[in-house]
Structure 1
Amino acid sequence: MNTPKIAAMLGLATGLLASSASFAAEYNFKLHHFLGPQTPSHLETVAPWAEAIEKASDGRVEIEIYPSMSLGGTPPELVGQARDGVVDIVWTVNGYTAGLFPRTEVFELPFVHRNDPAATNLAMHDLFEDHLREEYKGLEVMFLHVHQGNGLHTVDKDVRTPADVAGLKIRTPSRTGAWTIEALDAAPVAMPVPSLPQALSKKTVDAAFVPFEIIPSLKLEQQTQYQIEGTDQTRFGTLVFQMSMNKGKWDSLPEDIQQIFKDHSGPEWLAQLGQVWAENDIEGIEQATAAGNEHIVLDQAQTDAFEKALMPVITRWVDEANKAGIEGEALLQSAKDAIAAHNQ
């Protein structure tokens, strides 16, 4: 090959490398989470959030998402992975690390959260700086959110009253969920949600507290016959999720990049997220009923009976909070007031 051709090829290669470098992101992040890439959670929460930040940064930020625990470990280890800097960002369930976020638990309690995830999302945002931030040491919380709320899914039990639940083995992902089950004289079984279909099919559990949105992803209509909720979509508590970054990574970012993350994690996003999860819940229950399952909506008197039966869960949380040096009653009232304000 003659010298001019070699020079031309070298020049082309150099130009391509320079062009590639010019498009390389300045700030790269690994985002790890526990659900699959085809779940609504991934497609409508995790991925859109990351894409919006990348777009707003004009290519300076790249967020590589690793679903299904593909970087290793188990779901309860995600918070530790973020704190230790094993990964940069995690999306996870607070309750997978029981007792680590006791203040935030107040939003999971039955009949504190009722039926509006957007209202609870915004209430947590309102209370975060003054009441919640201190329990997220080692993390920079991008946002907290909840799902629509826990419906009761049973393999073959028609449930209309608290007494109907007694004796069942019920899956829960959280401490507050376990307290709810115990208050109904049932047996809590802790497990991450990906393990649920097999547990139901083998009757390791008789039922589960999960939202309806997860039905299509896990094909729960194939393992259950009944989906139960209270009147006006009232649920038996909910679950708090967090999107959090390693604090050292956050502190290393310039203010303009930090601001992009903040701009896409605030009230507008939280309200949108609440609506998305509420709509996905409707789609989930439609799939279950189309498969022949029975959707039981308790009337007001039946719902009130469950609320009365679950009051000890509230008392238990307040007592635990007080023992931990948290003003339980005051935080409970603040949470209720904030949710009510956004419900209006």
Structure 2
Amino acid sequence: MRTLKLVALAAAIGAASAAQAADSYTLKVGHFLPSTSNAQVNIIEPWCEQLRQESNDRLKCQLYPSMQLGGTPAKLADMARNGVADIVWTAPAYSAGKFPRVEVLELPFMLPYGGKAGNDIIWKFYEQYAKDDFKGYKVLSVFGDGGMDLHTRGKAVKTLEDLKGLKLRASSRTAAKTVEALGATPVSMPPAQMTEAISKGVVDGALASWEVVPATKLDEVTEFHSVAPEGQHAIGYTVLTMLMNQKKFDSLPKDLQEIIDRNSGPALNDRFATAWDKAMDTARNAAPAESRVAIDADAYKAMQDAAAGVADVWAKDASENGIDGKALVEGARNLSSATR
């Protein structure tokens, strides 16, 4: 009898262990930057750890930085939709034309500098105007890169005139139109390629956020970093997002879905904002004082005037594709002006 009880107990323990194992899930998370990047170390890894702890080890992440799942940054959104990855961190603009509404947030001088300041506006815009962009995805976060500045080698940019003749890396087609409107020649490429392009003289600099400078070693190949006047909106922005395969989310038990939900949206945006603001300040302060070139208010106003038509062209193009571009521009500006 004792032996039978022990056998029954062992069987019960084994069944419980098997049930627990069957109720465990590993999420494949892919992105385009190195494993040492601010996004992975300070946001994605802690976020995954939070999921693990709250789920008692039932929900875990396997990270694939630097496009280790294959493809290019432009394919990340499709990889999440098709289930190659369960979650991706990417920029919608890398997949040109797939997320047209959030492009308005990348128009020149639209959003304020800073992770927190920009992210609050971006999330509100997403909820009010851009949900149709993300049909078929479980949206975990929509945020921004904190605003882009000009980083150049060989020539400091203080005025609109200084931009003429320069070739500058642009992160998206909207950024490219901004660079062109300012009198420079845009060359589109993802962050991982811009440092080598500058070192080889393919481009003269980049329109990029301070946050990405350490991860890409941009500071090692540029001599000058333009600084906007205090309180002004950024020359350009890159919208970023974490997207989850909807079927994968739907397949999870209800309690695990709830864990993901309460750690996503504004909560995840706040994680990004805190880490982004710290990283931007650290990178900016690490640059030698003589490399930081101030753009005065009059010169900045001239840049704003030169780029003013970009929004009008964008709105016209959007309307031709069945989207009320004018309403989106107005909506984004209203949300942004409310923060001033």
Query: Common fold, TM-score beyond 0.5?
Result: yes
Give the letter for the 2:240 counterpart: F
SS in 2 for 1:143: strand
Are positions 1:280 and 2:284 aligned together? Answer: no
- Cα distance change, pair 272–339 in 1 and its aligned pair in 2 (3 A): farther
Corresponding residue to 1:327 among 315, 324, 333: 324
1:144 maps to what in 2?
142
8 Å Cα contact 2:141-2:266 kept in structure 1:
no
Are positions 1:177 and 2:175 aligned together? Answer: yes
Are positions 1:314 and 2:311 aligned together? Answer: yes
State how far apart, in whole Å, the 1-side matches of 2:147 and 2:91 are: 13
2:67 maps to what in 1?
69
State how far apart, in whole Å, the 1-side matches of 2:305 and 2:287 are: 29
State how far apart, in whole Å, the 1-side matches of 2:134 and 2:236 are: 22
Shift of 1:60: 1.9
Shift of 1:235: 2.2
State how far apart, in whole Å, the 1-side matches of 2:24 and 2:30 are: 20
Shift of 1:45: 2.2
Shift of 1:44: 1.5
1:83 maps to what in 2?
81
- Cα distance change, pair 305–25 in 1 and its aligned pair in 2 (3 A): farther
Corresponding residue to 2:27 among 4, 17, 29: 29
8 Å Cα contact 2:214-2:283 kept in structure 1:
yes
1:219 maps to what in 2?
217
CA deviation string 1:218-266 (max 9, x = no partner): 2222211101131126421110111001122122233332222121113
SS in 1 for 2:156: coil
SS in 1 for 2:287: helix
State how far apart, in whole Å, the 1-side matches of 2:43 and 2:315 are: 31
Give the letter for the 2:258 counterpart: Q
State how far apart, in whole Å, the 2-side matches of 1:301 and 1:24 are: 64
State how far apart, in whole Å, the 2-side matches of 1:187 and 1:25 are: 53
Uncovered stretches (5+) of structure 2, i.e. residues with no partner:
1-8
8 Å Cα contact 2:107-2:174 kept in structure 1:
yes
State how far apart, in whole Å, the 2-side matches of 1:293 and 1:262 are: 46
1:5 maps to what in 2?
none
Alignment RMSD (CA, Å): 2.4
Uncovered stretches (5+) of structure 1, i.e. residues with no partner:
1-10
8 Å Cα contact 2:38-2:275 kept in structure 1:
no
8 Å Cα contact 2:54-2:259 kept in structure 1:
yes
SS in 2 for 1:301: helix
Shift of 1:21: 7.3
Shift of 1:267: 2.1
8 Å Cα contact 1:122-1:339 kept in structure 2:
no
Shift of 1:301: 1.4
User: Which stretch has the larger CA shift, 256-265 or 64-73?
Assistant: 256-265
SS in 2 for 1:144: strand
- Cα distance change, pair 251–298 in 1 and its aligned pair in 2 (3 A): same
Corresponding residue to 1:104 among 102, 105, 120: 102
2:300 maps to what in 1?
303
- Cα distance change, pair 129–148 in 1 and its aligned pair in 2 (3 A): closer
Corresponding residue to 2:36 among 32, 35, 38: 38
Shift of 1:111: 1.2
- Cα distance change, pair 285–252 in 1 and its aligned pair in 2 (3 A): same
State how far apart, in whole Å, the 2-side matches of 1:231 and 1:80 are: 39
Same amino acid, percent of matched pairs: 36
Shift of 1:22: 4.3
State how far apart, in whole Å, the 1-side matches of 2:290 and 2:201 are: 18
State how far apart, in whole Å, the 1-side matches of 2:32 and 2:312 are: 32
State how far apart, in whole Å, the 1-side matches of 2:97 and 2:134 are: 12
- Cα distance change, pair 17–71 in 1 and its aligned pair in 2 (3 A): farther
SS in 2 for 1:270: helix
State how far apart, in whole Å, the 2-side matches of 1:61 and 1:101 are: 29
User: What's the TM-score once normalised by structure 2's chain length?
Assistant: 0.90
1:117 maps to what in 2?
115
Shift of 1:114: 2.3
Give the letter for the 2:301 counterpart: D
Shift of 1:145: 0.9
State how far apart, in whole Å, the 1-side matches of 2:53 and 2:321 are: 43
Give the letter for the 1:40 counterpart: N
State how far apart, in whole Å, the 2-side matches of 1:87 and 1:222 are: 33
Shift of 1:272: 4.0
1:294 maps to what in 2?
291
SS in 2 for 1:98: coil
State how far apart, in whole Å, the 1-side matches of 2:170 and 2:14 are: 53
State how far apart, in whole Å, the 1-side matches of 2:68 and 2:19 are: 28
